[in-house]
Amino acid sequence: MKFFVDTADTEEIRELSDTGFLDGVTTNPSLVAKTGRDFIEVVKEICDIVDGPVSAEVAATDFETMLEEGKKLAGIAENVAVKVPLTMAGLKTCSQLVKQGTQVNVTLCFSPAQAILAAKAGATYVSPFVGRLDDIGQDGMNLIGDIVQIYNNYTAIQTEVLVASIRSPMHIVNAGLMGAEVCTIPPQVFKQLISHPLTDKGLAAFMADWEKSGQKIL
């Protein structure tokens, strides 16, 4: 499974990139707005930090403008994946950009039917939002299972399932059990992945025993 981080904070991206766990980054206009910085400048900096795909989202809603924005974003760096919404205009834009050799992340997916259309449009990634479905009383992970099963039925489908709107480590574990290729993870959930009270307890016991031994390694 590939791990992307869902943020536009370049310092957080640098910190996570240093761990060796980070395979890519996803951003959106809302995340960039929180930084108070220029959108293009932020995307370029992120692309300089990571080698993997950096999803940069268009802001337009009509096909013509969306396509031009997508071309501009793709021109920032070779590792930009243009992010488009799962609308008719977004799918048309996806199809055109893919033909030009651009990676495309189709976002705001909430149903298996939408995911089928994203694959038909040639999307590099489809982003189902599990947390937002959980918020309205549905089980977002059921959507991931359905999409993975449908995609696995057809060898021609190369679209990867990018699990988005992740709220907890269990979303990531369940996505792995279902065979999703990618999870895009908020920084705070990234840090929760490593935490376990028994790890902390065991380490404290080991350190106490080592202290009593009076030995040193260096």
| Main-chain dihedrals φ then ψ at residue 209, nearest 5 degrees | -65, -40
Contact 94, 71 (CB under 8 A): no
Identified catalytic residue from 2, 72, 83, 201? 83
Structure tokens at 206: 């080991």
Active site residue 92: no
Q: Computed over its alpha carbons, how large is the radius of gyration of the chain?
A: 20
Axis crossing angle, helix 88-99 with helix 112-120, rounded to the nearest 10: 30
Residues 6+ apart with CB under 8 A from 100: 71, 74
Instruction: Let me know how long the chain is.
Output: 218
Q: Distance from first CA to last CA of the chain, Å, rounded?
A: 37
Q: What does DSSP assign to residue 53?
A: -
CA–CA distance, 54 with 210 (Å, rounded to integer): 44
What Å distances lie between residue 148 and 121, 174, 182, CA to CA? 17, 12, 11
| Main-chain dihedrals φ then ψ at residue 70, nearest 5 degrees | -60, -40
Active-site residue list: 83
